[in-house]
Amino acid sequence: MSALARSAARVPSYGCRAWKRSVPALVKPTPNGAPTTASGVDPIHFSASWSEEQIRNASEGHALLTWSPSKAVESMPVMVRGDGIYLYDTTGKEWMDWTSQAVCTNVGQTVSPRVKEAINAQMDKYSFVYGGLALTEPRARLSKLMSELMPTGLSGFVFPSSGSEANEAAIAMARRFTGKTKILTWYRSYHGGTSASSSATGDYRRLMAVEAPGFVKVWNPQPQFWEFGGSSEEERTASSLLMLEEQILNEGPHDIASLMFESVPGSAGVMKLPPGYMQGVRALCDKYEILLHMDEVMVGFGRTGKMWGFQHYEGVVPDIVTAAKGLTGSIMPLSMTAVSDDMKAFFHDNALGWGSTFQAHPTALACGYANMLDMLEQDTIGHVERLAPVFEQHVKELARHPCVKQYRSTGLFGCLDVQTVGGEQPQFTHQPKTSASLAYAKAAADQGLLTFFRPPVIHIAPPLIITEGELEKGFAKQHAALDALDEALGF
């Protein structure tokens, strides 16, 4: 065929060929090389330790924060050492960890010999085995142990790296197992910063991202600006459950995969559920064939004085449990998604629909397993249970400060709701810090208290290994910081 004939053959019968157009040239060619040998990087990287100035310069030059503007890097202490519930900065100042970092360093800052030994022994064996290619002993051990620490009926486990990822996996599995789409979550909740977990989140952090479809928010049984009707707790529980049922019916139970709730909403402010509420939720799930997913990322592994937060609700066993932080005491990143026997059986023959390279990372698993053995042997959760009444009494005494509207406390997890002189919220979570919030933060820092204030909520969540004497010391510091807040708010 001649060239002309070939060209004619390419003309579509409807006579529409693309126009001639030149491809844009690279306007600003930018060097994109990077060193590949030691001689190409700053020799400072090969010095054993850095001065405070070197740390600050590199951090201020390159480190970004996540949920707050990064300029805060400039005023942060530089931590060099930890011991028990304390951290020490470059000036030698002692900081009491009053919030267990992100409510996660449950066993404090001293890494136990068993955990160190387990991590090192694991690394001596091999660097990494991908969970989709082979089995490992730490995965077998931790899976078995977790099945023993869960109530009967929860027997299948995956081990991602963060709480957000555990929730991503749980959401994907709930949808694949039920063939349904919608996930119902509370407004007053936090489930993570990745796509699905952020869309599941109810608090202000969700509003910074683009929400994925398929997530529906429902009211918590404790709204912020109004109260459920009824003259008794039971009546109020019933009205909040009826509202939930109406929402379920309006959304269409045939397309709701799961109700995904924090067993004890943590970031929202240690919310306590009205009596009978979670039993009612379980009953609604059973009635409409919806999965119940309990997010235990913040409170799982003993924060509330029980292994799992859902154990505060007699007779309630979820279909899915996600957990993270306390599993390794945050020494290494590791999380867990536990699913029911039925779900485990389904995924025996079907792929999960979620994955990550570091799922079931052997070194992280070995760390989590050793940490759990420590916690079980030392009865860490029994210690929390025994200390809880003392802790609650201290939290209650904080309520004498006029800036404290009310308090809640469960296990070693306490919180204060702060108010203005007029009894209103002094600041909303999405707003920039007010001068009163800054005055509180400064007073706490002066006391050497690492504390967490997301107005109107002040969290109190020390490591679970704290002693009664250390509690006394911490609460004295907390009183001093609240004196400053009283004054800053004009009381």
State the residues that interact with ligand PLP by CB under 6 A: 102, 162-164, 167, 190-192, 262, 266-267, 295, 297-298, 324
Separation between Cα atoms, residue 367 and residue 346, nearest integer Å: 29
Separation between Cα atoms, residue 54 and residue 48, nearest integer Å: 12
Question: Rounded to the nearest whole angstrom, what is the least distance from the CB of residue 234 to ligand PLP in the complex?
Answer: 28
Separation between Cα atoms, residue 140 and residue 447, nearest integer Å: 45
Residue corresponding to tokens 């924090």: 262
Q: Select 327 or 366, whichever has its Cβ closest to ligand PLP.
A: 327
Determine contact, residues 380/305, Cβ cutoff 8 Å.
no
Question: Rounded to the nearest whole angstrom, what is the least distance from the CB of residue 162 to ligand PLP in the complex?
Answer: 4
Q: Select 211 or 486, whichever has its Cβ closest to ligand PLP.
A: 211
- Give the list of residues 6+ apart from residue 430 with CB closer than 8 angstroms, or none: 204, 207
Question: Rounded to the nearest whole angstrom, what is the least distance from the CB of residue 124 to ligand PLP in the complex?
Answer: 28
Determine contact, residues 277/237, Cβ cutoff 8 Å.
yes
Q: How many CB atoms lie within 10 A of CB 185?
A: 28
Question: Rounded to the nearest whole angstrom, what is the least distance from the CB of residue 286 to ligand PLP in the complex?
Answer: 24
Question: Rounded to the nearest whole angstrom, what is the least distance from the CB of residue 267 to ligand PLP in the complex?
Answer: 5
Question: Rounded to the nearest whole angstrom, what is the least distance from the CB of residue 266 to ligand PLP in the complex?
Answer: 5
* Token representation of residue 196: 């699905």
Query: Angle at which helices 362-377 and 380-398 pack, to 10 degrees?
Result: 80
Q: Which helix (H) or strand (E) holds 454?
A: strand 452-454
Q: Select 238 or 291, whichever has its Cβ closest to ligand PLP.
A: 291
Residue nearest to ligand PLP (CB): 163
Question: Rounded to the nearest whole angstrom, what is the least distance from the CB of residue 147 to ligand PLP in the complex?
Answer: 22
Q: Select 67 or 225, whichever has its Cβ closest to ligand PLP.
A: 67
Determine contact, residues 167/230, Cβ cutoff 8 Å.
no
Q: Select 238 or 259, whichever has its Cβ closest to ligand PLP.
A: 259
Q: Select 238 or 271, whichever has its Cβ closest to ligand PLP.
A: 271
Separation between Cα atoms, residue 182 and residue 350, nearest integer Å: 20
Q: Select 190 or 452, whichever has its Cβ closest to ligand PLP.
A: 190
Cis, bond preceding 456 (omega within 30 deg of 0): yes
Q: Select 95 or 190, whichever has its Cβ closest to ligand PLP.
A: 190
Question: Can you say whether residue 240 is alpha, beta or left, with left for phi > 0 and alpha for psi between -120 and 50 degrees?
Answer: alpha
- Single out the residue of 320, 354, 322, 324 nearest to residue 340, CA to CA: 320
Q: Select 87 or 270, whichever has its Cβ closest to ligand PLP.
A: 270
Cα R_g (the chain), whole angstroms: 26
Question: Rounded to the nearest whole angstrom, what is the least distance from the CB of residue 357 to ligand PLP in the complex?
Answer: 16
Name the DSSP class of 59: H
Count of H-run helices and E-run strands, the chain: 14, 15
Question: Rounded to the nearest whole angstrom, what is the least distance from the CB of residue 335 to ligand PLP in the complex?
Answer: 6
User: Rounded to the nearest 5°, which phi and psi values hold at 471?
Assistant: -60, -45
